[in-house]
Amino acid sequence: MTRVWSEEAKLERWLNVELAALDAWAQVGTVPASSARAVRERARVPSPERVAELERTTNHDVAAFVDVVSSELGPEGRWFHYGLTSSDVLDTALALTVQDAGALIRDGIDRASEAVVARAQEHRDTVTIGRTHGVHAEPTTFGLKLLGWAFELERNRGRLDHALAGMRVGKLSGAVGTYATTTPDVERIACEALGLEPAPSSTQILQRDRHAELLTALSILASSLDRFALEIRHLARTEVREVEEPFAAGQKGSSAMPHKRNPIVSERICGLARLVRGYALVGLENVALWHERDISHSSNERVVLPDAFLAVDYMLDRFAWLVQGLVIRPERMRANLEATGGLFFSQRLLLALVQSGQERDAAYRMVQRHAMRAWDEGLDFRGLVRADPEIAARVDLDDVFDLRAYIRHVDVVFDRMRAEQVPEEVEA
């Protein structure tokens, strides 16, 4: 990802755009074919240092780039950058950069998803307590929890693909998008050679709603990783200790406390997500520019676009590593599940009483009376219920207190994941 956003790669893409435009001019007959061939043979990607040196005089990066390249082309150099404005080169090259960077993010999503699905399969039947408001609710399985993450990663892949498709466009339409110094044919030919579509309309720039969608997609992806990492942090607390981050030999969790094993990678992911979400706001602010363009977007895009891709790429890499090596403790999950003396069976008991003919509010209060006593006095909920003849006479308590009822449909959700991973063949 660093190479994709490097100065060397940027200048190489600028040159590719310039040469694609020159070849297009040759195809439409404006530039002699021999001149276009000569330029392509002689043109070299300039060093970032040389461009930066000249930019200190020109105070314009593209102008410095054009001057450096054309100085090596001889008389044919007069055709270099012919009919183009700076943003023709900048925005078209940026579209190419984004495609390369996006492919790496997509690979990162794939690796993270594979890791999550593998651990989900491993723990599809590992029963754990589900929590709402941070408080015990009802049992689920750890595999089902992880599978929810996998589906969310799939949705993030779809959002990223849509945003990348919106950025798969170039523009060579000139100073305010009117083709006054170029032609739609030149734009079309050059964009096709670069693997892009011509933007259906442009001003001096590509409109920034495209870039805003991309930064928003990255920020939603970062927020999903934030959610997953936050769950790991909660489950790694000493009082819970259902999971634990990998801890290497020789690693130190604290400079002062030798016993510490902290969820530092999860915390790092959560912290970086806050940064990426801020970049999305910058992208949204860039949508509203003056008239056909201003350059208030230019300075911040040099920071937020590479940084957002670099941060998310790193987050995905660390998240995949984290999931692959995550220490999962089923015995702690079982102990925490039993910590409330079976209080989580309250809804099954309520529904059984309703099915028996009991009015719902009365049934609710019957169950709640025992639940609150179990909660306040640390008693076993199941024992209190079994000792209540009014309840015991109405329902089958062995069926009510059957833990298997909570996981009987887990396979349905796993089947949905398999169906999503292996789409049905389309009939010819």
Q: Is residue 10 within 8 Å of 92, Cβ to Cβ? A: no
Crossing angle between the packed helical segments 7-27 and 61-70, to the nearest 10 degrees: 70
Q: Is residue 204 within 8 Å of 177, Cβ to Cβ? A: yes
Of the candidates 342, 391, 395, 400, which has an alpha carbon nearest to the alpha carbon of residue 367?
391
| CA gap 297, 212 in Å, rounded | 11
Identity of the residue numbered 81:
H
Among residues 133, 259, 291, 409, which one is catalytic?
A: 133
Within 273-406, strands assigned E span 327-328
| CA gap 367, 232 in Å, rounded | 33
CB within 8 Å of 79: residues ≥ 6 apart: 22, 25, 31, 35, 36, 39
Identity of the residue numbered 46:
P
Among residues 6, 201, 254, 296, which one is catalytic?
A: 254
| CA gap 327, 324 in Å, rounded | 9
Crossing angle between the packed helical segments 264-285 and 209-235, to the nearest 10 degrees: 160
- Please say if 133 is a catalytic residue: yes
- Please say if 34 is a catalytic residue: no
| CA gap 170, 205 in Å, rounded | 10
Identity of the residue numbered 301:
E
| CA gap 327, 333 in Å, rounded | 12
What DSSP assignment string belongs to 409-425? Answer: THHHHHHHHHHHHSPPP
Active site residues: 133, 254
